[in-house]
Chains A and B, each alone.
Chain A
Amino acid sequence: EDQVTQSPEALRLQEGESSSLNCSYTVSGLRGLFWYRQDPGKGPEFLFTLYSAGEEKEKERLKATLTKKESFLHITAPKPEDSATYLCAVPFHTGFQKLVFGTGTRLLVSP
């Protein structure tokens, strides 16, 4: 069964306290993994695409990494403005490339 699981569901950090979010998936023949950020009342905003195990991408305080079974979104020295829900998604090919989303990790960074 196509599945994308994110953990934890929610994470509360102090400003400057680094941590990681996890996205695990079950799919054969990975065709990419996407990370999005979603602010309350807004649409998902694209962050990264990773295509192969060992790949890493960075943007400001965020770094995404990929293994054969999971991806991590590392947040280094977060700031309150990093508070958001982070979604990951994986394409599953079932006649059509369907993006399957995880339910997200709600991140709250306190000053």
Chain B
Amino acid sequence: NAGVTQTPKFRVLKTGQSMTLLCAQDMNHEYMYWYRQDPGMGLRLIHYSVGEGTTAKGEVPDGYNVSRLKKQNFLLGLESAAPSQTSVYFCASSNGQGALGETQYFGPGTRLLVL
């Protein structure tokens, strides 16, 4: 069981470039999430998905898009990268059994630097 995996581990972009971050989970979880982590800010939710084919906005969605075409994968896209998107991005998943307070399991993160 690999759990939650993320690719790439590290990426450098120039302002205006685009890229896609991939998250995969092998736990058959329904819910998946994308967070960003910045110094002094804590983890903040960007977008989330409650099942295959569904996506929704989180706390800080501007400048990002997501897709969940397969249950096990959740993609985060940056259409036109900005220096403010320099951050560490974490994907997480949970089983989505309907109970509040369910545990989220995190991937190892992707470090993104936008110049």
- B interface bracket (residues with beta carbon within 8 Å of A): 20 to 34
CB distance from A10 to the nearest CB of B (A): 12
A89 (CB) vs chain B CBs: closest residue: B43
B34 proximal to A (CB < 8 A) = no
Query: Given A42-B109, A43-B106, A87-B43, A96 and B56 touching (CB < 8 A)?
Result: yes
For chain A, the count of residues having a C-beta within 8 Å of the partner chain is 26
User: B103-115 vs A: 1/0 string, CB under 8 Å?
Assistant: 1111111000000
Give the contacts of B50-72 with A (CB-CB under 8 A).
50, 56, 58-59
A34: nearest chain-B partner, CB-CB: B103
B13 beta carbon closer than 8 Å to chain A? no
Interface residues in B14-52 by Cβ distance below 8 A to A read 40-45, 48, 50
B100 A91 Cβ-Cβ under 8 A = yes
Knowing A45-B106, A96-B56, the reply to whether A101 touches B43 (Cβ < 8 A) is yes
Known contacts A42-B109, A43-B108; A97/B45 CB under 8 A:
no
Instruction: Given A42-B109, A43-B106, A44-B90, check contact A98 B45 (CB 8 Å).
Output: yes
Chain A residues whose CB sits within 8 angstroms of the CB of B108 once the complex forms: 42-43
A46: chain B residues at CB < 8 Å are: 103-106
Partner of B101, one of A44, A49, A96: A49
Among A73-107, those with CB < 8 Å from B are: 87, 89, 91, 93, 96-104
Chain A positions within 8 Å of B, measured between CB atoms, are 4, 31-32, 34, 36, 41-46, 49, 51, 87, 89, 91, 93, 96-104
Residues of B within 8 A of A (CB): 4, 40-45, 48, 50, 56, 58-59, 90, 100-101, 103-109
